[in-house]
Amino acid sequence: MKQAIKIKENVYWVGVRDLNVRDFHGELYPVEEGATYNAYLVIDDQITLFDTVEEEFCGECIERIESVLDGRSIDNIIVQHAEPDHSGGFKKIYEKYPNAKVYTTKAGVRHMQAQYIEDTPFNELKTGDTLSTGKYSFTFVEMNMIHWPDNMLTYCPELKVVFSNDAFGQHIVNYQMTDENLDKHYCIEQAKEYFANIVMPYTVPVKNKLNQILAMNLDIEMILPAHGIIWKNYVTDIIEAYKDFATLKQSNKVVIVYESVWKHTQQIAESLAEGFAAAGMDVKVYKLSITRSSIVMKELMDAKMVCVGTGTYNNAMAPSVASFLERVKSCKINDKKGLAFGAYGWFRNVPSTLSDKLKEAGFEPAADAIAQNFTPSEGELDNYYKLALEIGKSL
């Protein structure tokens, strides 16, 4: 039987580890070591469950819950987010504990009913509402569009704990549960990757909500997110990192992504990379078709400039490049420079089309698109090097 894991006095992790998942949210977010779906149980005069898990793992979640209930039942279920990785197990858990009161936001009610066609008697919550369960009180904060309209965060002053749901999440699967004994840089980088792939389109609401939460002067000892490890040693560090994430704070970095069959476009990418490096920039170069998209999105988040290259495929750009451009357009990125480049044989228009697509995605052109006919000469490669050197110095 699966056992609940004690996080601190009267607080237990009753979630699951999905060690086999490699595509989180479909193909949107490839992951390496799996994912966790975190649910938490707080024992008090009233017993409160924060979130559930994916439906297929619901039995395991119930086993963990039962391991600490000692014959009691759940009194409150807090639905902080209606997305199925957090709510898929709700119906089965509510069937087992039908006397529980269920709390969620107004948008949460709408989303839960639309997904599960259930006439559950939800109790609507708004920012500032509180719930007392005996020794403990819980204050609720709506987190609209981080990353759904129904997201919510809960704070318990007596426990000094934040139940943050998707905010501050990452995909670290660690059996020790907290960030203790883990490298700080590793933890922050994993949180950055999660932010880039899930939350980046919503930086404005993240920034506004983060400022609101900081203004509340909460005394926080632990942050309990819905995915990944629990923040304990690095609470201050992850909050500071989120300030940078929310503003897409830039470093002196350029990201070069491309697709190439006969290496003509690859040669341009490599010449640009050397030019930017000579200008003192941190340079990241990725061939899109063989690189996890989650890595590219993470590096893109704090770059000053993005260069996108493609060969010409049936008078069009490579499918991986077209898909990448659609994705970054959805992220609503501003204040970054862009440069389109690519090789062609007899149809010249693709690099200029690529440049237009970059502009549509929010990137300001740093120069005209590079259009290379077949194999670049040494002189042409030297020109691309010098162009990157010039742009890099100006940045």
Spatial separation of the C-alpha atoms in residues 374 and 42, rounded to whole Å? 65
Q: Which of 55, 83, 189, 380 is catalytic?
A: 83
The whole-angstrom separation of Cα 168 and Cα 78 is 18
Catalytic site residue from 37, 94, 155, 194: 194
Evaluate whether 4 touches 62 at the Cβ level (below 8 Å).
no
The active-site residue out of 25, 183, 240, 368 is 25
Q: Among residues 189, 339, 325, 335, which one has the least CA distance to residue 250? A: 335
Q: Which of 147, 150, 155, 179 is catalytic?
A: 147
Annotated active-site residue 85? The verdict is: yes
Query: How many whole angstroms separate alpha carbon 37 and alpha carbon 165?
Result: 10
175 catalytic residue (yes or no) = no
How many Å apart are CA 178 and CA 111, to the nearest integer?
31
Respond yes or no: is residue 147 known to be catalytic.
yes
Catalytic residue among 12, 29, 40, 81: 81
Active site residue 299: no
Decide if 50 contacts 164 (C-beta within 8 A): no
Rg (C-alpha) for the chain, rounded Å, is 24
DSSP string computed for 253-315: EEEEEEE-SSSHHHHHHHHHHHHHHHTT-EEEEEEGGGS-HHHHHHHHHT-SEEEEEE--BTT
| Residue of 18, 54, 85, 259 marked catalytic | 85
Active site residue 185: no
Catalytic residue among 86, 111, 171, 227: 227
Catalytic pick among 18, 60, 166, 179: 166
171: annotated active-site residue? no
Catalytic site residue 44?
Answer: no
- Is 282 a residue of the active site? no
Contacts of 336 (CB under 8 A, 6+ apart): 250, 303, 304, 305, 306, 362, 363, 364
Q: Find out whether 341 and 272 touch, Cβ atoms under 8 Å.
A: yes
Which residues belong to the active site?
A: 25, 81, 83, 85, 147, 166, 194, 227
